[in-house]
Amino acid sequence: MAGGWMMLPILVCSAVALAIVVERFWTLRPSRLAPPTLLGQVRTSWGKGTVDPGYLKALRENSPLGRILAVGLNNADAGRDIMKERIEEAASQEIHDMERFLNTLGTIAAITPLLGLLGTVIGMIDVFSAIMLHGTGDTARLAGGISQALITTAAGLSVAIPAIFFHRFFVRRVDEITIGMEQTAVNLLDWIHGEGEAPAPAPAPAKKAAPRRKPAAGGAVS
């Protein structure tokens, strides 16, 4: 109330930013998005021959990384290039989901200082209008008007500074999780179609034929 009606959009931005920060903290947990032991579990199941449709369904429900690995396993027989392409498509979708609401948070960080500045400008216009009507004799009234004008700037900055911090924090976390997922996907590709495959056994060397002995005199072979 002390800052005037421009405080209303700033407070709305503050509530939205707080909700996004809480939701992203809960959602962007590395242990939830990319469990570190998941690839080892997949390799164990693959070695035991238990990778069936039921296992792939459970893997998709495990985590975003599980959905990426499930896509890779589902296309393991299609060749390395096709498997890689399907993994990249699945990873793009998961990255898009991880970046949800971050643009909104960045927008709030950008516009709240401008809203505060706009409130200050409007407040100063009212102050100078009061000076024109009543003169400068009532200093208390002028000080109150200036104080009301500056409250919106302080409120806008108070919302923008944490919003900028958390926006960059979550962008960095998404990048780190994405790099970890990419490395896991590369390990899966190498394991199935690349360096991770067991080398084929070398063919046994052919036995050398015994040397033919020269016939003895008279044509008989000794």
Phi/psi zone of residue 101: left (φ > 0), alpha (ψ -120 to 50 degrees), beta?
A: left
Report the chain's mean pLDDT, rounded to a whole number: 80
Residue type, 77: D
pLDDT band for position 167 (50/70/90)?
very high
Average pLDDT over residues 167-191: 91
pLDDT value at residue 138: 60
**Whole-prediction pTM:** 0.74
Q: What is the pLDDT of residue 75?
A: 83
Please report the DSSP string for the chain in residue order. -TT-TTHHHHHHHHHHHHHHHHHHHHH--HHHHS-TTHHHHHHHHHHHT--SHHHHHHHHHH-HHHHHHHHHHHTGGG-HHHHHHHHHHHHHHHHHHHTTTHHHHHHHHHHHHHHHHHHHHHHHHHHHHHHHHHTT--HHHHHHHHHHHHHHHHHHHHHHHHHHHHHHHHHHHHHHHHHHHHHHHHHHHHHHHSTTSPPPPPPPPPPPPPPPPPPPTTS---
pLDDT at 102: 94
How many C-beta atoms lie closer than 10 Å to residue 123's C-beta? Answer: 22
What is the mean predicted confidence (pLDDT) over 195-220?
A: 43
Q: Residue 40, Cβ neighbours under 10 Å: how many?
A: 10
Percent of the chain having pLDDT more than 70? Answer: 79
State the Cα–Cα distance between residues 150 and 219, nearest whole angstrom. 123
Per-residue pLDDT, 158? 93
7-32: b (≥16 Cβ within 10 Å) or e: bebbeebbebbeebbeebeeebeeee
The predicted pLDDT at position 119 comes to 84
Tell me what the mean pLDDT of segment 153-167 comes to.
93
Q: In this structure, what token pair is assigned to residue 52? A: 């069936």
Q: Which residue has the higher pLDDT, 41 or 218?
A: 41
Instruction: Check residue 141 and give its pLDDT.
Output: 63
Q: How confident is the model at residue 3, as a pLDDT?
A: 65
Please state which of the ranges 99-108, 127-136, 195-204 shows the lowest mean pLDDT: 195-204
Backbone angles phi, psi at 156, to 5 degrees: -60, -45
User: Token digits for 145?
Assistant: 């008007």
Reply yes or no on whether the pLDDT at 142 is more than 80.
no
Cα(first)–Cα(last) distance of the chain, in Å? 122
Question: Is the confidence at residue 93, as pLDDT, over 50?
Answer: yes
Tell me what pLDDT residue 48 has.
82
Query: What pLDDT digit, counting tens, does each position of 24-77 carry?
Result: 999 999 888 888 888 888 888 888 877 888 888 888 888 899 999 888 888 888
The model's confidence at residue 21, banded by pLDDT at 50, 70 and 90, is very high
